[in-house]
């Protein structure tokens, strides 16, 4: 299984990527949504995207909407990893295309 981990926090990427690798996942990281989109469009296949929501320039909601608007990526599972866990934020995430929501 291949995972794309998108988070602007180097600390969080460096903490979670080894855990995912130890669990047997192939992990590619991106420090922002733009690089995440570039990775998704690079031809490398991913089984799931794990993304932060609060990121500069393009937030996680916009990132998910961009993924959903790409006919090649429309079915790709997206899981939000965020401290934003209010019912309103979770609903906004579902509308943007997140499959699930995990609190940081």
Q: Look up the pTM and report it.
A: 0.94
pLDDT in tens, 1-34: 999 999 999 999 999 999 999 999 999 999 999 9
pLDDT of residue 51: 98
pLDDT of residue 44: 94
Q: How many domains does the chain have?
A: 1
Domain that holds residue 65: 2-103
Question: What integer is the mean pLDDT of 79-95?
Answer: 92
pLDDT of residue 62: 98
CATH number for the domain including 53? 3.40.50.2300
3-state SS record for 38-89: HHHCCCCCCCEEEECCCCCCCCHHHHHHHHHCCCCCCCCCEEEEECCCCHHH
pLDDT of residue 104: 86
Question: What integer is the mean pLDDT of 50-68?
Answer: 97
pLDDT at 84 over 90: no
């Amino acid at each position: 299984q291949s995972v794309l981990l998108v988070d602007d926090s180097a600390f969080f990427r460096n903490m979670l990527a080894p855990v995912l690798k130890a669990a047997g996942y192939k992990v590619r990281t991106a420090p922002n949504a733009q690089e995440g989109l570039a990775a998704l469009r690079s031809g490398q296949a991913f089984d799931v995207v794990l993304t932060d929501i609060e990121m500069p320039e393009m937030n996680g909601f916009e990132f998910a909407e961009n993924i959903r608007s790409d006919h090649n990526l429309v079915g790709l599972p997206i899981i939000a990893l965020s401290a934003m866990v209010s019912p309103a934020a979770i609903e906004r995430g579902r509308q943007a295309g997140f499959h699930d929501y995990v609190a940081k």
